[in-house]
Structure 1
């Protein structure tokens, strides 16, 4: 099993985790994700979720986590240029850039044409970047800045 496959398995097991209370960026699991990157409750946590999943997978495989320990989506993207890819494959981390210093990220689970099927933290049923749960989404590849290959 590759690091990407193990990471996706861990992320899949987190589907359904929700903030408590909703829209608070807190709750037992959310605070564990945030602590994994050195943050306390109240911060946006999509990248912390990605880091936590990848860190757990790496630890279970006795491997090194290739990601930077950060809760910042664009910080992660800009600090790992050797991981950046333009076309996705399952297990990649997708990066969205909203051009105002904010972003959103999640895992690519599968690709179908111009659509990626994802597992994301801090999202909601409409696919927002400030949601309240870990969920599966689908996104147009054109909305993605780039992909990080684990």
Structure 2
């Protein structure tokens, strides 16, 4: 008796089978995708007058207890996590997004990154890592612009070199804000 492959395999080439195979999503991947989907949905939000204002920007600020006109990069990141069901982070102060228990050494999707500003003597801008390609990070950031300012006018997808990043923090481990790794 000659064994014949089933019609499923018989009608498809090996490359079709490999290219169409999907690894079942783990709970971690679902959370990462949820956080990034929310962040991506905000790309294109702009301030109303260029003074840290506008309906959506004020929503980010309100989420962290801040008022119209205040810097909002950390409020944006906190709001994204809140929309994904996380209790933390919830701060408009960018250094507060990097407690010791949350710090990690490498960039991964949906991890928070911080940029150090020598003139401020601290991390003064934050955003979310979307993905990494070699030494470059694709990021989603609020209160920035195409020039990379920490006082920008909207939510943008950016490309940053990993050398410009001072710290990373992982807030994905649980929805109550417990420790990671």
How many angstroms apart in 2 are the aligned matches of 1:43 and 1:2? 32
TM-superposed CA distance for 1:109, in Å, is 0.5
Q: What is the aligned counterpart of 1:81 among 90, 96, 100?
A: 100
1:22-41 matched pairs, under 5 angstroms: 22=50, 24-41=51-68
Q: Which has the larger radius of gyration?
A: 2
Structure 1's consecutive aligned runs of 4 or more residues displaced over 6 angstroms after TM superposition are none
Q: Tell me the distance in 2 between the aligned counterparts of 1:105 and 1:89.
A: 15
| TM-score, length basis structure 1 | 0.89
| Pair 1:143-2:164 in alignment | yes
State the distance in 1 between where 2:156 and 2:169 align: 20
Per-residue deviation, 1:102: 5.2
Matched, 1:110 2:131: yes
* TM score, norm. by length of structure 2: 0.74
2:152 paired residue among 110, 120, 131? 131
Spell out, residue by residue over 1:25-59, the C-alpha distance to the aligned partner (whole angstroms, 9 max, x if none). 0110000000000001011100000000100101x
Q: CA deviation at 1:98?
A: 0.8
**Are positions 1:65 and 2:87 aligned together?**
yes
The answer to whether 1:90 aligns with 2:109 is yes
Residues 37-48 of structure 1: pairs in structure 2 closer than 5 A? 37-48=64-75
Distance 1:125 1:97 in 2: 18
Offset of residue 97 of structure 1: 1.5
Corresponding position of 2:48: 20
Q: Larger relative contact order (C-alpha < 8 A, sep ≥ 6)?
A: 1
